[in-house]
Structure 1
Amino acid sequence: MRLSSYPSRNLHLDEQTLPAWIAILGLVLISSLCVLAGAGGILRLGFPLLSLAVGLFLYLRYPVLYIGFTLWIWFLTPWLRRVVDSRSGWDPQGVMLLAPFLVTLVTFITLVQHLPRACRQGGLPFILALSGVFYAFFIGLILNPPLAAARALLDWLTPILFGFHLFVHWRDYPRFSQNIQRAFTWCVLITGIYGVVQYLVAPEWDRFWIIKTELVTNGTPEPLGIRVFSTMNSPGPFANVMIAGLLLLLNSRDPLRIPASVVGYLVFLLSLVRSAWGGFLVGLFTLLASLKARFQMRLIVIILVMAVCIIPLTAIEPFSEIISTRVESLYNIKDDVSFNERSETYEQKLNIALSNGLGSGMGGIYSINDKGVLGVIVLDSGILDMFFTLGWFGAIPYVGGVTLLLLSLFQGNENRFDSFASAARAISVSVFAQLMFGSVMLGLPGLMLWGFLGISMAARRYYQYQHSVVLEKR
């Protein structure tokens, strides 16, 4: 049974979805007017609240559109925050960045509704991970400032909730997968084009953001000096979104796939995130291995065509030098500053992290300075972050949940004939493979990891049900 045989309902503008699109366009219009009028103070608080209201409305009435809306809120809110800050003054608290978390937290309703029977329906891995997170939150409330614990909880909790939501609504898998495919196609195209502009022009709001945050990982605030992060906050999350979009585009038949892929691969390279480059290759090999031979040949041809389009662009200035220098660093690991710093971090902190049984709890790697601004102590390692925060008592169920999900994805055969399911599994593996190099289980990268784990499990459950129906009819 092919995915393309299902109608694309609840995706396009029609009489049934008109109220939903009015709500979404209303949010866009109000936000645009506030930006143009310089009413940043109103928008900073109003945007998260309006986004939550629209998200709740879509969740209750238009569940398919809710998925796409949630993704776009994650993709675009950091950019909107930068524009507002550049015009209305710097907001160190970043209140607007609450919007994607609040919209995603709506899926807590799903957890409450389905928790009693989730374990019986295959949701045990999600429950295990959630138990580890809530354990660390309660420890954090005891050991750390409540604000820091609550901020950390948002990073850890929302990705799991989103993945769980996709999983338990497995009956809607065909419509959910189509909506996700469409969202990422447009995301790669739009954020890719903006990423090229960001690199060549360095818009004032992006320069303002780099200067104020002093994040050296974002590059220098000048044309040709920015490590592309497009509409997101930093290169790492952006690169993981590109991984998801580019892997999905390999099996897409949308006419936009070619221009989207061209700009997508270019800005993916310009992000200069080597761990994401490696994760993409892992995902690509996972995707190839899951397909039948004739689909493998088709995919190889597509990859070669994309290479023919991309390589000439990366071989000309102003792109070639910065990309080639970063690629060459992969062959000179011993002289690489980033690699040496990460190795030193592991040597200094791994034993400490592994010996901390209870963990530091949520907020243990967050700090509040003398101005009351909440900041993050960067560990540059998902493994260290996990054991420092969750401890052994939280890390065991959390890692156990992720491991059970990954193992279960390789037990079904839906990936042999459903290209979206194949790509979703590959994306999950590619993000997880970067755990040693960054906290990819949190925030937007975490949404990629848990979201595609959830939709992959939904695909498996959906096709198991279809198979059982066929057997009953016989």
Structure 2
Amino acid sequence: MERIFGISASALPAGLRRLILLACVIALGGMVGVAGATGSLHMRLLEFTLLILSMMAALRIHFKRPHALVPYALLMWVVSPELRRLLDWSFRSYSDTSLISLIPYCVSLTMLIPIIKNIKQLDRKVGLLLKILGAALIYGFGVGFLKYGFSSVFDLLNYIVPFLVLAYVSVSRFDQDVRDQWLRSFGYLAVIVAAYGIYQYMVLPPWDQFWMISSEMKSIGPAEPQKFRVFSLLNSPGPTGVFLAVALAIMTVQKRWRAFGVVGIMVVAFALLLTLVRVGWIAYVVMVFAYFIRSQLKSKMQLLTLGIIIAFAYQFLLPVLPGGSQVASRIDTFGSLEEDHSFNERLHFSTHIFSSVLANPVGMGLGSSGLGAKLTQNSDTLVVFDNGYLNVFYTFGLPLGLTVIALLGYLFVYLYKVSRMDRMYSPISLAAISAVLFLLFASNVLRGLSGFILMLVISVAFMPTASNRGEQ
């Protein structure tokens, strides 16, 4: 095996070759162990095969077409939940854990190869952010591992992978137009997610129905066509709403980032409405407004025109579309939040958790909340956490929690200042960090898919320019 994916193995540094080999051995042993420990060996082996194939494709892309690695990783984040549902339905077997769920994490970890190789080229500001965040994660992992085991490992991955994008972009030597390719590919993927979501809402495919019934997610609604909240290819309406909202904002503010023009925008907007995720629309408005105040005059006029078109479409088209009345009634609750059951539950939850944080200022550690909490039977864990700021304090404790929040504030101030000079990419990054600061009031968007897409948009402001490369 002189060559691996078209590149000579001897061309890689010896330390990097050993690291890759060790990672492959650990991953292979771990996955085989998990597959052998399950009841449905045939299904697990198929999942394992798909996992290996996706990782091989990621390595191939990294060595042959590195600029396509980020869109490929984003694709894996989006399609892996639906792929899992198809397999579960085919085998008539449902489990809270699946090797398919590891695909986006393993694919994204491929970014470590160029990061390790070019670590000295890391932007100093990005490096400082990652060091402080790394200290918080080490502390959180140390506190959580003894109590929650593998759950804390999964939670650690959920935090690490999104912030890898910042480091990856900072050390990469891509042309500037790669940023446009990434944002445009985000738009195309959003249209696909939206189109499938609309189809899902109209007919409800049997594999999605099987998952809705088996997972017992009552908050989605009844498993009947046109009576549930759309989740499309993703796991639930919440992440779907955030994904579509961020993509819709990107497609709105710049023509060059749109997929299928105004038609694509309308498709994504309608699918976002069908998710019934109110914070998604508020995040969209926050992003567009943040971009508006820092963009050029021409962009501002285009935004105003497009805003008028969307307003007219909502006023005249929505009432005649399937599910329009349900969407309209959901939006009407903005004016009477004190009477909304969901809002009152969130408020009660936040009050309770705030008391818990004050009672335990050292934090519960990684694995105490989120999807990773499903992997443990510990009664201290909370799978659903309806306030991202409190989740940070609940996980890392008050001192480190405040540090993490301060980092986000610093990132906002930095991007606000930089956007005075760069009127194209820094404003959309500013819009993304603005969305992060808002969305944290609803859920912890720093990890998983939400964290990945938001950090991806933030990272375009940190892509090295030609002058930066000359200085390096």
1:337 pairs with 2:348:
no
Alpha-carbon contact 1:86-1:205 (below 8 Å) kept: yes
Q: Residue 14 of structure 2 corresponds to which residue in structure 1?
A: none
Q: How far apart in 1 are the matches of 2:121 and 2:190?
A: 37
Query: 1:312–1:192: structure 2 CA closer, same or farther, 3 Å change rule?
Result: farther
Q: How far apart in 2 are the matches of 1:62 and 1:358?
A: 45
1:139 pairs with 2:140:
no
Which residue type is aligned with residue 301 of structure 2? M
Q: Which among 154, 165, 171 is matched to residue 162 of structure 1?
A: 165
Gaps of 5+ in 2: 1-5, 7-41
Q: How far apart in 2 are the matches of 1:367 and 1:298?
A: 46
- Per the TM alignment, residue 176 of structure 1 is displaced from its structure 2 partner at its CA by 3.0
Q: How far apart in 1 are the matches of 2:382 and 2:260?
A: 38
- Per the TM alignment, residue 379 of structure 1 is displaced from its structure 2 partner at its CA by 1.8
- Per the TM alignment, residue 300 of structure 1 is displaced from its structure 2 partner at its CA by 1.2
SS of match in other structure, 1:172: coil
Q: How far apart in 1 are the matches of 2:429 and 2:391?
A: 25
Which residue type is aligned with residue 304 of structure 2? I
- Per the TM alignment, residue 99 of structure 1 is displaced from its structure 2 partner at its CA by 0.2
Query: 1:138–1:325: structure 2 CA closer, same or farther, 3 Å change rule?
Result: same
Query: 1:78–1:410: structure 2 CA closer, same or farther, 3 Å change rule?
Result: same
Q: Residue 431 of structure 1 corresponds to which residue in structure 2?
A: 436
Q: How far apart in 2 are the matches of 1:90 and 1:255?
A: 35
Which residue type is aligned with residue 276 of structure 2? L
SS of match in other structure, 2:335: coil
SS of match in other structure, 1:196: helix
Which residue type is aligned with residue 221 of structure 1? A
Query: 1:160–1:264: structure 2 CA closer, same or farther, 3 Å change rule?
Result: same
Q: How far apart in 2 are the matches of 1:312 and 1:236?
A: 27
Q: Map of 1:403-418 to 2, 5 A cutoff?
A: 403-413=409-419, 417-418=423-424
Query: 1:179–1:117: structure 2 CA closer, same or farther, 3 Å change rule?
Result: closer
Alpha-carbon contact 1:200-1:224 (below 8 Å) kept: yes
Q: Which among 319, 325, 337 is matched to residue 321 of structure 1?
A: 325
Q: Which among 71, 79, 91 is matched to residue 82 of structure 2?
A: 79
Q: Which among 389, 392, 402 is matched to residue 395 of structure 2?
A: 389
Alpha-carbon contact 2:187-2:259 (below 8 Å) kept: no
Gaps of 5+ in 1: 1-15, 17-38, 470-474
Q: Residue 399 of structure 1 corresponds to which residue in structure 2?
A: 405
SS of match in other structure, 1:358: coil
Q: Residue 69 of structure 2 corresponds to which residue in structure 1?
A: 66
Q: Residue 28 of structure 2 corresponds to which residue in structure 1?
A: none
Q: How far apart in 2 are the matches of 1:317 and 1:305?
A: 17
Q: Which among 49, 54, 58 is matched to residue 51 of structure 1?
A: 54
Which residue type is aligned with residue 242 of structure 1? L
Which residue type is aligned with residue 315 of structure 1? P
- Per the TM alignment, residue 255 of structure 1 is displaced from its structure 2 partner at its CA by 6.5
Q: Which among 210, 215, 218 is matched to residue 217 of structure 2?
A: 215
Q: How far apart in 1 are the matches of 2:433 and 2:60?
A: 29
Q: Which among 356, 359, 364 is matched to residue 352 of structure 1?
A: 356
Q: How far apart in 2 are the matches of 1:436 and 1:255?
A: 30
Which residue type is aligned with residue 326 of structure 2? I
> C-alpha offsets along residues 224-253 of structure 1, whole Å, 9 cap, x if unaligned?
112111111111111111122112212124
Q: Residue 288 of structure 1 corresponds to which residue in structure 2?
A: 292
Query: 1:349–1:117: structure 2 CA closer, same or farther, 3 Å change rule?
Result: same
Q: Map of 1:213-292 to 2, 5 A cutoff?
A: 213-250=215-252, 251-253=254-256, 256-292=260-296
- Per the TM alignment, residue 385 of structure 1 is displaced from its structure 2 partner at its CA by 1.3
| RMSD (CA atoms) | 2.7
Aligned length: 425
- Per the TM alignment, residue 117 of structure 1 is displaced from its structure 2 partner at its CA by 5.9
Q: Which among 442, 450, 470 is matched to residue 455 of structure 2?
A: 450
Alpha-carbon contact 1:107-1:161 (below 8 Å) kept: yes
Query: 1:350–1:214: structure 2 CA closer, same or farther, 3 Å change rule?
Result: same
Q: How far apart in 2 are the matches of 1:90 and 1:424?
A: 39
Q: How far apart in 1 are the matches of 2:86 and 2:228?
A: 17
Q: How far apart in 1 are the matches of 2:98 and 2:320?
A: 38
- Per the TM alignment, residue 40 of structure 1 is displaced from its structure 2 partner at its CA by 4.5
- Per the TM alignment, residue 293 of structure 1 is displaced from its structure 2 partner at its CA by 2.0
Relative contact order, higher structure (CA 8 A, sep 6+): 1
Q: How far apart in 2 are the matches of 1:173 and 1:72?
A: 22
Q: Residue 183 of structure 2 corresponds to which residue in structure 1?
A: 181
Which residue type is aligned with residue 435 of structure 1? L
- Per the TM alignment, residue 159 of structure 1 is displaced from its structure 2 partner at its CA by 0.6
> C-alpha offsets along residues 260-291 of structure 1, whole Å, 9 cap, x if unaligned?
11110001111111111111111111011111
Q: How far apart in 2 are the matches of 1:400 and 1:161?
A: 19
Q: Map of 1:6-25 to 2, 5 A cutoff?
A: none
Q: Which moved more, 1:270-279 or 1:39-48?
A: 39-48
- Per the TM alignment, residue 452 of structure 1 is displaced from its structure 2 partner at its CA by 1.9
> C-alpha offsets along residues 97-133 of structure 1, whole Å, 9 cap, x if unaligned?
1100111122233443455564646531122222212
> C-alpha offsets along residues 403-457 of structure 1, whole Å, 9 cap, x if unaligned?
2222110111467532x44333313322331101111111111112222222223
Equivalent pairs: percent with the same residue? 24
Q: Residue 446 of structure 2 corresponds to which residue in structure 1?
A: 441
Alpha-carbon contact 1:78-1:233 (below 8 Å) kept: yes
TM-score, L = length of structure 2: 0.83
Query: 1:304–1:271: structure 2 CA closer, same or farther, 3 Å change rule?
Result: same
Q: Which moved more, 1:207-216 or 1:262-271?
A: 207-216
Q: Residue 35 of structure 2 corresponds to which residue in structure 1?
A: none
